[in-house]
Amino acid sequence: MLYPNLLQPLDLGFTSLRNRVLMGSMHTGLEEEKNGWKKLAVFYRERAKGGVGLIVTGGIAPDRAGWVAPFSARMSNQKHVRNHRTVTDAVHEEGGKICMQILHSGRYGFHPLVVAPSAIKSPISPFKPRALSSRGIQKTIRHFIRAAQLAKEAGYDGVEVMGSEGYLINQFIVRHTNKRTDDWGGSYANRIKFPLEIVRQIRAAVGENFIIIYRLSMLDLIPDGSTWEEVVTLAKAIEKAGASIINTGIGWHEARVPTIATSVPRGAFTWVTKKMMGEVSIPLITTNRINTPEKAEEILAQNAADMVSMARPFLADAYFITKAQTNKSYLINTCIACNQACLDHVFKNKTASCLVNPSACRETEFSIKPTVNPKKIAVVGAGPAGLSAAVTMAQRGHQIELFEASGEIGGQFNMAKKIPGKQEFHETIRYFREQIRQLSITLHLNTPFTPETQKRDNFDEIVLATGVTPRKLSIKGINHSSVLGYKDVLSDGKMVGQKVAIIGAGGIGFDVAEFLVEDHHASDYKHFSKEWGIDLEYREAGGLQTPNKITPKRSVYLLQRSKGKVGAKLGKTTGWIHRATLKKRGVQMLSEVTYEKITDEGLHVLLKGKPTVLEVDNIIICAGQVSNKDLESPLKAIGATVHIIGGADFAAELDAKRAIEQGMKLGIKI
Ligand code: FAD
Ligand code: NAP
Ligand code: SF4
């Protein structure tokens, strides 16, 4: 067995988990959708079938005040019990186990009913909370207990009490948000009474044979957070109060430290759980940026935890565990931690899905059925769109030939993977490479498709996924030797001087800037922690320290014509990380720039109307793209049936999420 620690059962006394993997809590949005519970049941059924040891649902509020957003899912009456039953039945039918997470958002709620220990507004919600009265606190505790009892009635194997990430329970624990002077505030013993009462009373209400996971904020990453000694005290008290397992929580949502983005090294926070090992006798779960069986096994083998939690990796691949069990981890569709289709969706009130697996949370819409009419199909272009279409059509039984003009598959992902902190993009290319092999897709590398190819091979249908070409600009002096395109820099390795101006501050402009200013990426957690001010010695409350100063490799201007914040259109949950990373490296991000001309002196611009010369060695154009669909007309002219997807279809606002989804949708339909 390749993963002896990971695949070992975990004995909890009254029950046993089939392996050491927890599918961590994720809100999907289906909880609130019409007929969403049926879809949710299919979603969880797939993951249970895929062999995961224990599933935790997305956060379910114990009452209205605990909603994350208006009308979020609740567990407070029999109607809710019936909804949840569909989920627990589905999971149990597949031999899985599932716990319901009870989450009270406290001051993080995005609605006017919000409550908190003290009336202090959070920096991430516009709603100022009402301070709970003493009776209000007792009532809230009763609602937690009621939610746990109803969860048991609905067939859950247990509950997870959400005590981290800055939600209500966490707000009681630290002075930062708890300024109370009664029995629920002041001393640490008073501040932790709220979680302890919740766990103690749940245990009393549900009996011994029911899992209680407590998600403990082991590292708050906010000023005035808990000290390590306090965290250990709480862990011990939680064990005594009756919890079966302690899960690790890292960072409040308002913390200015990345905790799960792709630039966070794999397993970067495992050291925190490891520090807790031995302090309690119940099992500990570690979390954050663990996305392969290899990493998970390594963590468990080092005795850094008893169990590993992965959440997004199960959006990316429901069959993660089965593939690991059969020694086929190379077939896993790995989560690249981009957040683009999961967290970014949830924060925009859209149903979650996955960039690399568009069928996640949409299993019923994206079901891949065998074709009754197998065809011989050419896919032109092995970028994300073409790869996704080719794989889906081959899975359905079509005969696929994939033509790629360059010497490798992956399209623009071959540039993305070179950006510091985006190494995970290698995994998506690896996944597709393996799928091509498994599905016997005929791959023609270094083979541009032409109308002659069609005349020779006479394909039934052709899928054009030829992507995009960089937009050409008409600034005076654009042919100056100092001007480069992003492909020159990222694909062709052209030399770049010390002083650089980047025209265009979209996703690619930001990535090129990071590529140019990073000396070496913080790929190990120690380097990463120093950069973001995480104290691995945990000397101060909250675990923060002054971040390291960084000497940038180059001096860079990142420019855009439009008004407003540079990079405003970057991902909702990751844009701030990109901006902060560049700021730390002295990149000057300028908006309202008019490009006048390029000369030996550099780039002549108007900065908010003021003439300025940016004296730079190189100017790099990252000004968007246009579709590359030159083949469409000649192919149609010879009578071919042509479908166009990805960047070739529409270049504006193109990203890999759309490219892969469009490829899969076409593949299902054809
Ligand atoms: P492409 O990836 O452009 O692929 C088209 C393929 O077609 C190419 O391999 C090309 O060689 C081939 N081709 C063209 N003509 C022919 C022909 N006649 N015959 C055979 N083959 C042909 N997106 C995100 O969502 N998230 C990110 O974080 C992200 N980061 C990025 C970072 C960088 C540096 C870059 C450059 C892009 C990034 N993108 C990102 C954008 C993303 O990569 C694109 O949206 C996606 O690759 C578009 O997919 P596609 O298949 O339509 O086109
Ligand atoms: P983009 O996001 O559309 O950005 C293009 C930039 O060029 C904008 O800043 C635009 O700003 C500028 N521009 C457009 N036309 C111009 C012109 N004629 N002259 C000068 N400047 C011009 O495109 P991209 O950066 O090329 O990225 C392509 C796609 O890949 C994007 O959709 C993006 O989502 C995706 N991507 C995503 C990530 C990620 O981290 N999620 C990373 C990389 C790429 P002004 O018009 O204000 O000047
Ligand atoms: Fe992972 Fe990105 Fe998919 Fe989210 S969208 S699960 S971060 S690959």
Residue 378 pairs in a beta bridge with: 401, 462
Nearest to 435 by CA among 500, 357, 505, 509: 357
Q: Which residues line ligand 2 (CB under 6 A)?
A: 340, 471, 473, 503-509, 511, 560-562, 571, 622-625, 653-655
Whether the CB of 511 sits within 6 Å of ligand 1: yes
Nearest to 399 by CA among 366, 440, 434, 431: 440
Instruction: Label residue 9 exposed, middle or buried (CB < 10 Å: 0-12, 13-18, 19+).
Output: exposed
The residue assigned the tokens 């570690």 is: 286
**Shortest-distance ligand to the CA of residue 340:** 3
Per-residue model confidence (pLDDT) at position 520: 59
In this prediction, residues 146-164 reach a mean pLDDT of 98
Residue 634 pLDDT > 80? yes
User: What phi and psi, each to the nearest 5 degrees, are found at residue 602?
Assistant: 140, -150
Percent pLDDT > 90 in the chain is 95
Contact 664, 392 (CB under 8 A): yes
Whether the CB of 210 sits within 6 Å of ligand 1: no
Q: What is the pLDDT of residues 487-517, one digit of tens each?
A: 999 999 999 999 999 999 999 999 999 999 9
Distance from Cα 412 to the centre of ligand 1, integer Å:
3
**Shortest-distance ligand to the CA of residue 28:** 3
Whether the CB of 315 sits within 6 Å of ligand 3: yes
Distance from Cα 620 to the centre of ligand 2, integer Å:
13
Nearest to 76 by CA among 31, 142, 133: 142
Among residues 108, 156, 167, 525, which one is catalytic?
167
Per-residue model confidence (pLDDT) at position 64: 97
Q: pLDDT band for position 156 (50/70/90)?
A: very high
Query: Where do the domains of the chain lie, and which CATH numbers do they carry?
Result: 10-311 (3.20.20.70), 376-468+628-669 (3.40.50.720), 472-518+553-623 (3.50.50.60)
> What letter represents residue 113's amino acid?
L
Tokens of 482: 């100092």
Contact 180, 240 (CB under 8 A): no
Nearest to 398 by CA among 463, 455, 445: 463
Residue nearest to atom 37 of ligand 2 (CA): 507
Contact 222, 124 (CB under 8 A): no
Cα–Cα distance, 177 to 171 (Å, whole number): 5
Q: pLDDT band for position 551 (50/70/90)?
A: confident
C-alpha torsion 434→437→440→445, nearest 10: 100
Distance from Cα 406 to the centre of ligand 2, integer Å:
24
Residue 38 CB contacts under 8 Å (≥ 6 apart), including other chains: 86, 364
Q: What is the pLDDT of residues 353-380, one digit of tens each?
A: 999 999 999 999 998 999 999 999 999 9
Residue 349 burial (CB count, 10 A): 10
365 to each of 314, 361, 362, 665, 668, how far by Cα in Å? 18, 9, 5, 10, 10
Residue 131 burial (CB count, 10 A): 17
Residue nearest to atom 34 of ligand 1 (CA): 416
Q: What is the pLDDT of residues 92-127, one digit of tens each?
A: 999 999 999 999 999 999 999 999 999 999 999 999
Contact 435, 454 (CB under 8 A): no
Residue nearest to atom 20 of ligand 2 (CA): 623
Query: Strands (DSSP E) along 471-592, which ranges?
Result: 483-485, 499-503, 555-559, 588-590
Q: What is the pLDDT of residues 202-248, one digit of tens each?
A: 999 999 999 999 999 999 999 999 999 999 999 999 999 999 999 99
Q: What is the pLDDT of residues 163-207, one digit of tens each?
A: 999 999 999 999 999 999 999 999 999 999 999 999 999 999 999
| Residue 3 bears catalytic tag | no
Lowest mean pLDDT among 298-307, 473-482, 520-529: 520-529
* DSSP secondary structure letter of residue 399: E
In this prediction, residues 139-163 reach a mean pLDDT of 98
